[in-house]
Chains A and B, each alone.
Chain A
């Protein structure tokens, strides 16, 4: 525990990912400009587990896609280790909400996909993919096809695929959003177990406050459209966190209140849209 703390303080000197003065504006089909993200500034340090929470439509997924290099900021920068992010790179992995596995490939072939792009030899890919499949506990499904797996298992394969590529940073876009409550809690535990092992930097987008408190070192609360950073909250409860802990409940209430303010602000707009 001490070791980890020390490592964190050391790496605090240079952020692994720095987002500075970032704006994102979309142009609708009618030519109207819609602001999605406004003046985002975040520093993310190595080995940290960050959760982004916010009401739906606040641009948190867009922010993640910009960091992944899939979209470009309208102004401002997303910087990875002093280099501007302008295209996807295998250093930064991304796990999608659902259905991102190639349905015509077996589970093992899916996990090895990123390694194929790196032109690694077939036997080596098989070995590495097998190891990561074991890490997520799905070795016996190596030869199965994605449609033969449940949603939770598919997401575990997607996580194994991202990790097999050995990224420095793992971005996760509501990866458990489509799962039932029970599977979701299981996978949260699973993800923490894996993270404790390899300590990648994780940026995890969710709209579940409970999930964020359970997982994160630090929660970034975003406001609704245009998305801005409302508050950063460090969670210092030791892991594994107990949902029965009064502090857990207090934190949850505090963040939910913040989000509620957002939705009450958003109501007149929503009414306008209906009318």
Chain B
């Protein structure tokens, strides 16, 4: 019984100490621009639907950000997975792309900002769809092409690298034995290569989503942005509303952790064989 108690309390010891420390510091500093009180931030988080600094609610801003990240991320996944699998399987395709992509890999997503602004300005998905009014316009206009591109760049490389790795590390014996059993090229892709590479690909998708989510704040600092949790943070900063800044940061952290948890859960359930077989 005692053991269960310890393992239950262990993960919450540090957070509790952290909050106590924060609380004490806030009281002694007594300046809410430098460090707001725990209860102020908590009340913001507990009422996510509340209107803030005439920018809509915390929740609606988080949802706008989520929509942006998912758009850029999905684009990255759609391109990176097939490309990675082909590069992993066909040496010629690998040689064709690898050096080229290797030049882009080390460029931080933020370094793309000036170029991306020159290319896309404030145009959005609505511009692409030639929409100028209506409810759909309001939604699509939030998906600025420049932001989607920055997030795309952030997510693309982790997914690509893991897909290549997943395919190149498939044991050759598995491919050989499928061939000997009479598999054609399509069979090998569908029944051997893809399932064998799946754990690595999904792991890359998890990391890619994390990186994409981290690129969010920099993407939302771009001109033309009037919403999103990243923008909410920067705007609250100019108004000296540090409590909103912290509440926004905590929401980013919480959403990121939740997405990560969903992926980990999937990996544990679906790819149990990977940990258990040699």
- A interface, CB within 8 angstroms of B: 68-70, 88-90, 92-94, 96, 99-100, 102-104, 113-114, 116-118, 145-148, 158, 161-162, 165
- B interface, CB within 8 angstroms of A: 171, 173-174, 176-184, 187, 191-192, 195-196, 271, 273-274, 276-278
Q: 20 A-B contacts, Cβ less than 8 Å apart? A: A68-B180, A93-B180, A93-B181, A94-B180, A99-B173, A100-B173, A102-B174, A102-B192, A102-B195, A104-B196, A104-B271, A113-B181, A113-B191, A117-B182, A145-B273, A146-B273, A146-B277, A147-B277, A161-B181, A165-B182
Tell me whether A117 and B187 are in contact (CB under 8 A): yes
Q: Which 5 A-B pairs have the closest CB atoms?
A: A114-B181, A90-B182, A147-B277, A103-B277, A147-B276
Q: Which residues of B contact A92 (CB under 8 A)?
A: 180
- Of A94, A145, A147, A148, which contacts B177 at CB under 8 A? A94
Interface SS of chain B: helix, strand, loop or mixed?
Answer: helix
Tell me whether B182 and A100 are in contact (CB under 8 A): no
Q: Which residues of B contact A161 (CB under 8 A)?
A: 181
With A89-B182, A117-B182, A147-B273 as known contacts, state yes or no: A99 contacts B195, CB within 8 Å.
no
CB distance from B199 to the nearest CB of A (A): 9
Q: Which residues of B contact A102 (CB under 8 A)?
A: 174, 191-192, 195-196
Q: Which residues of B contact A100 (CB under 8 A)?
A: 173-174, 176-177
CB distance from B278 to the nearest CB of A (A): 7
- Of A88, A103, A145, which contacts B180 at CB under 8 A? A88
Tell me whether A70 and B273 are in contact (CB under 8 A): no
Q: Which residues of A contact B276 (CB under 8 A)?
A: 103, 145, 147-148
With A94-B177, A99-B278 as known contacts, state yes or no: A114 contacts B273, CB within 8 Å.
no
In the complex, A94 Cα to B175 Cα: how many Å? 12
In the complex, A259 Cα to B176 Cα: how many Å? 30
Tell me whether A90 and B173 are in contact (CB under 8 A): no
Q: Which residues of B contact A158 (CB under 8 A)?
A: 177
In the complex, A88 Cα to B171 Cα: how many Å? 18
| Nearest B residue to A165, CB-CB | B181
Tell me whether A117 and B181 are in contact (CB under 8 A): yes
Tell me whether B182 and A103 are in contact (CB under 8 A): no
Q: Which residues of A contact B184 (CB under 8 A)?
A: 117
In the complex, A118 Cα to B184 Cα: how many Å? 10
Give the interface centre of B174, B192, B277 by most chain A CB atoms within 10 Å. Answer: B277
Question: 8 extra interchain contacts, Cβ-Cβ under 8 A, other than A117-B183, A117-B187, A158-B177?
Answer: A92-B180, A99-B171, A102-B192, A103-B273, A104-B273, A145-B277, A147-B276, A148-B276
